[in-house]
Amino acid sequence: MTSCSFSEALEIRYAEDVDSNPIEPCEIFLVGSFPGRSSPSGRLVLPRILALNRCDIDRAGALHKIEELCHDVEELDLGQNELCDLTEIDNILQHMPNLSFLNLSHNNMKDAIPIHFTKRENLQSLVLNHTYVPWTVVGKFLEAMPNIQELHLSLNDYRCIDLPSNKQYPNLKQLYICGNPFTSWNDVALIGKIFPNLESLVMADTHISSIPDPPSWHHLFPHLQSLNFNNAPLSDWKDIDKLNHFQKLEDVRLLGISVLDNLNDLERRQHLIAYLPSVIRLNGSAILQKEREDAERAFIRHFLSKNERPKRFYDLEAIHGKLDPLVDVDLSPKKTAQVFVHFCEEQSVLTVNLQQSVQELKATLSDKFGLRPARMRLFYVDQDLKNACGPDELRYNNRKLYSYQIRDGDELLLDSK
């Protein structure tokens, strides 16, 4: 598909269904988020949310047309286009003074030359995923957007954070920076220094394998409440314990980390809950008080038979006291039972398979006592209830024997019709 300008794509996407009679628009109305259409008076109606992704846009185009149509646009999606010249991007943005959200994902900006962007006071969310945008350009975006609160920098092949450590962006609350091959916790610490009021850090799929001692970094995240560190190769529970030094952390995602590999799903969640006493939401699920208590007790019992116990074991033991190991009780249903079978004056001891049906048991008894199943009445007597309830006739041929709770020592009474 041939590349086109933003102004051309805007007309194609939003004006293609307008009445073919050429009417020069004299007023622009932006209502809701529906496609462009013609009002009864012939005026072009555009949405406040413009979606122009996958349009092969590589330049701004007619600036007067952008100014005319897009003055009140609030959200703009330009993902998966061909925008790599920052001047062209700035030309588009200059004519959208009310823009608060901008998505430039999947535009290759690897070789973009930094420029001084026009100030964008209203812009609060910027998405630059999979653009390979250089850090120098990220810095220019941040300078031009002083009120930005949400920044997406995932899948950009960043190996380190390369923003000046002496600059701060205090309004940023949420940073999404997943799928970049960071290897050092120093980059996390630098994030905390540059964005001092960060509340949410989504940093999944990194190569960070350890966390240093907290005194060197914990003061840098005074407001962090949510942390996503999924699929990090953390291999020591001490690293998980260090997360407690985020002073306000309450929502954590830690799926796929290496230290959990040898535990089952229940143990993984219980261990994480036990190690993170201030967290109230784990991997997207709320931690109720009953679950926390059960998890902490299970954690204590897990280490009772271990020679080496973590510090957290003793902290929890001080809360819950010394616990006894759980008795290993086999709760699986029995497969057989030895019962007494009475027929006329004869009594026999028979081992019956509890997985078989009443009909199958009658076939077995038919072979033993020579009484056809069709002529047979069979009663079950519970040894504990026989004085109170008496015999219970086994009327339903397809019912399994285990459903009657038959145990060793119970009785079967066989009678003929």
Per-residue pLDDT at 331 exceeds 60: no
Span 98-146, pLDDT tens digits: 999 999 999 999 999 999 999 999 999 999 999 999 999 999 999 999 9
Per residue in 149-201, pLDDT tens?
A: 999 999 999 999 999 999 999 999 999 999 999 999 999 999 999 999 999 99
Domain that holds residue 380: 336-416
- Per-residue pLDDT of 269-289, as tens digits, reads 999 999 999 999 999 999 999
Predicted local confidence at residue 27, as pLDDT: 37
Query: Among the three residues 273, 296, 320, which one is the final residue of a domain in this structure?
Result: 320
pLDDT at residue 218, as a whole number? 86
How many angstroms separate the CA atoms of 194 and 169, rounded?
6
* Confidence at residue 332, expressed as pLDDT on a 0 to 100 scale: 61
Query: What mean pLDDT is predicted for residues 65-83?
Result: 93
Asked if pLDDT for residue 35 goes beyond 70, the answer is no
Same structural domain, 316 and 340: no
Q: What is the pLDDT of residues 354-397, one digit of tens each?
A: 889 989 988 888 888 888 888 888 988 887 776 777 788 888 88
What's the confidence (pLDDT) of residue 32?
Answer: 41
Please indicate, yes or no, if residue 114 is contained in any of the structural domains: yes
CATH (domain of 235) = 3.80.10.10
On whether residue 209 sits in a domain, the answer given is yes
pLDDT at 30: 38
Mean pLDDT, the chain, whole residue set: 88
Domain annotation covers residue 296 = yes
In a domain, 376, yes or no: yes
Looking at residue 180, its amino acid is: N
Residue 34's pLDDT is 45
Q: Cβ–Cβ contacts within 10 Å for residue 83, how many? A: 24
Under the banding of pLDDT at 50, 70 and 90, the label for residue 46 is confident
DSSP string across 188-220: HHHHHHHSTT--EEE--S--------GGGTGGG
Whether residues 259 and 364 share a domain: the answer is: no
pLDDT value of position 372 = 86
| Overall number of domains in the chain | 2
Burial of residue 316 (CB within 10 Å: 0-12, 13-18, 19+) is: buried
Cβ 10 vs Cβ 70: under 8 Å: yes
Residue 83 has pLDDT above 80, yes or no: yes
In a domain, residue 313? The reply is yes
pLDDT band, very low/low/confident/very high, at 415 (cuts 50, 70, 90): confident
pLDDT of residue 328: 54
For residue 134, CA distances in Å to 85, 156, 182 come to 13, 9, 15
**Which residues make Cβ contacts (< 8 Å) with residue 328, sequence separation at least 6?**
none
Euclidean distance between the first and the last CA atom of the chain, given in angstroms as a whole number? 86
In a domain, 396, yes or no: yes
Please say if the pLDDT value at position 404 is more than 70: yes
Cβ contact 142:148 at 8 Å: yes
- In the structure, what pLDDT confidence band is assigned to residue 410 with cuts at 50, 70 and 90? confident
pLDDT at 326: 65
Structure tokens at 175: 């940073």
pLDDT, residue 38, reads 45
Question: Can you give the pLDDT at residue 37?
Answer: 47
Q: Is 411 left (phi over 0), alpha (psi -120 to 50) or beta?
A: beta
